[in-house]
Amino acid sequence: MALLHTVNKSPFEKNALESCIRLALKGSSILLMEDGVYGAVKGTAKSSLVAGAKGKIAVYVLGPDLDARGVSKDKLIDGVKVVDYGGFVDLVAQHSATQAWL
């Protein structure tokens, strides 16, 4: 059993994603949601955060939040998986606890 981390802040505006990755144990998962979804985009000044964590942590992104912000799925960093709210529920159930990086 491992933790599910949720990050809802843009990595350009706040340090939440950076801190989450620093403190997420290998084998845990991160769900990027709300303004956090910008962290899942490739070719940005912050892409290295998620790209660098990939071997150690499974990274998910909330599809409805991508759509709201006009981020098309072909812009996502390779290996990032898109889930809907039902998938979010499943992730919470599958992990031992959820830690929100607010």
Pick the piece of the chain touching a copy of itself (CB under 8 A) from 9-17, 52-60, 71-79, 85-93: 9-17
Question: Is residue 41 within 8 Å of residue 75, measured between CB atoms?
Answer: yes
Q: Does 7 bind another protein (CB under 8 A)?
A: no
Taking alpha carbons only, the member of 98, 57, 61 closest to residue 80 is: 61
Q: Does 22 bind another protein (CB under 8 A)?
A: yes
Pick the piece of the chain touching a copy of itself (CB under 8 A) from 12-20, 26-34, 74-82, 87-95: 12-20
Report residue 79 as tokens: 């290996």
- In the list 7, 29, 30, 35, the residue contacting another protein (rule: CB under 8 A) is 35
CA separation for the pair 44, 61 (Å, rounded): 16
Q: Does 60 bind another protein (CB under 8 A)?
A: no
Q: Strand, helix or coil at 21? A: helix
Q: How many residues interact with a copy of itself (rule CB under 8 A)?
A: 4
Which run of H or of E encompasses 3? strand 3-7
Q: Interface with a copy of itself by CB under 8 A: which residues?
A: 12-15
